[in-house]
């Protein structure tokens, strides 16, 4: 009878999915609350970047998320980011066309925002301006710019 539990114990130790789960569970949780939402339609598109190379290029984000707007509120809880340095850019896709609509000089027509609530003046912000360190569970508030 001792051999069966010991055998199961060794199978448990050798199972790679068990190891991967415990590694995932050690990730800090990042909760992002987006405020200053004026329209109760569309969705919030979020890009999380882990390097300054090609920052703000949607197809270059480390992770992308999309969340619905409900009652002029949007909250995203991210549990799959390892500890590290990141920067976030987001926009409110009010017309649900899956792109950030811009005017003729490239300024977004739809509300947008960045981590650290960076407000660009004459050019898009840098990765360094928006960068933050994620090492423990963190709650972040980001306000949309209209």
DSSP state of 23: H
Question: Phi and psi for 82 in degrees, rounded to 5?
Answer: -70, 160
For residues 83 and 45, give the distance between their C-alpha atoms in angstroms, rounded to a whole number. 22
Largest CA distance in the chain: 76
Radius of gyration over alpha carbons of the chain, in Å?
Answer: 20
* pLDDT, tens digit, 9 for 90 and up, residues 26-66: 899 999 999 999 999 999 999 999 999 999 987 899 999 99
pLDDT at residue 25, rounded to an integer: 66
The answer to whether 79 touches 47, Cβ cutoff 8 Å, is no
SS3 call for 56: coil
Relative orientation angle of helices 3-14 and 16-25, to the nearest 10 degrees = 60
pTM reported for the whole predicted model: 0.81
């Amino acid at each position: 009878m001792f051999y069966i539990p010991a055998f199961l114990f060794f199978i448990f130790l050798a199972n790679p999915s068990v190891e991967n789960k415990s590694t995932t569970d050690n990730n800090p949780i990042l909760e992002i609350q987006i405020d200053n939402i004026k329209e109760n339609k569309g969705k919030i598109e979020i890009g999380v970047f882990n390097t300054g190379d090609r920052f703000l290029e949607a197809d270059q984000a480390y992770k992308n998320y999309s969340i619905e707007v409900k009652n002029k509120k949007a909250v995203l809880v991210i549990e799959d980011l390892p500890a590290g340095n990141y920067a976030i850019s987001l926009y409110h896709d009010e017309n649900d066309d899956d792109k950030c609509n811009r005017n003729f000089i490239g300024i977004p027509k739809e509300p947008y925002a960045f981590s650290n609530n960076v407000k660009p003046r004459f050019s898009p912000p840098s990765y360094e301006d928006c960068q933050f360190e994620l090492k423990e569970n963190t709650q972040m508030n980001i306000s949309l710019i209209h």
